[in-house]
Amino acid sequence: MIVIEETINNLIDIIEKEIKYNLQLLELLVQEQKILISSDVTAVEKNIKEQDYLIGNIKKLEEIRIENVNKISEIYGKSDKNLKFSDIIELVDEEYAEKLTILMEKLKSVVENITKININNKYLIESGLEFLEENVKVFYGANEKELFYKKGGKEKKKKGDIKRIVDRKV
């Protein structure tokens, strides 16, 4: 019985660490929103490096968690090594089941919030890129050909009539 208790306690510790790292990741994603709005490239790079570090730690914990779940599966004589948490909760003592239920609900909630923030950040990034693309077109006269050629290559406007912010002549 000591082995199962130790394994379940390890699983609980791992889930608690996953929650901690995911909460830190959520905080970084919220910061990223503010950074994206302020267009601070250096801060975005720093933030992404911190996110990568946390994601690496979360992946390592996930691997350890899977090992623990497999060990619990073996201890309880289950052939399916990919037990779901609902299966584990049914197998373990009520004390552990209650704690695992609370932790898994908390982890699920944090991950859902991360997903929502990621969707918002994706929108901010895409909007920023579209804005930059349009500015580059205006700034450099990217649509030059449309402005002064008709179908068949005939001139619509003279090149001198095209309005650009920057002249490409060097």
- Higher-pLDDT residue of 166, 100: 100
Do the domain assignments include residue 146?
no
**Is 150 within a domain?**
no
Residue 42 maps to a domain: yes
pLDDT higher for 82 or 35?
Answer: 35
For 62-92, the pLDDT digits (tens) are 999 989 888 888 888 877 667 788 888 888 8
Report how far apart, in Å, the C-alpha atoms of 152 and of each of 51, 87, 130, 164 are: 53, 70, 30, 24
d(CA 20, CA 106): 10
Q: What share of the chain is helix, strand, coil (3-state, %, to 5)?
A: 80, 0, 20
Residue type, 158: K
pLDDT in tens, 42-60: 888 898 899 999 999 999 9
List pLDDT tens digits, range 10-24: 999 999 999 999 999
Q: What are phi and psi of 155, to 5 degrees?
A: -70, 135
Q: What is the mean pLDDT of the chain?
A: 80
Closest CA to 55 of 47, 161, 116: 47
How far is it, in rounded angstroms, from Cα 152 to Cα 103? 68
The residues pairing with 155 across neighbouring beta strands, listed in sequence order, are 149
Task: Identify whether the C-beta of residue 21 lies closer than 8 Å to the C-beta of residue 57.
Answer: yes
Does residue 149 belong to any structural domain of this protein?
Answer: no
- Is 165 a member of any domain? no
Look at residue 145 in the predicted model and tell me its pLDDT. 47
Q: Is residue 158 part of a domain?
A: no
pLDDT band of residue 156 (cuts 50, 70, 90) is: low
Do residues 7 and 88 make contact, with C-beta atoms less than 8 angstroms apart? Answer: no
pTM over 0.85: no
Question: Once rounded to an integer, what is the mean pLDDT over residues 97-120?
Answer: 92
Kindly report the CATH number assigned to the domain that includes residue 101.
Answer: 1.20.58.300
Counting the structural domains of the chain, the total is 1
Find out whether 22 and 59 touch, Cβ atoms under 8 Å. no
Domain containing residue 86: 2-140
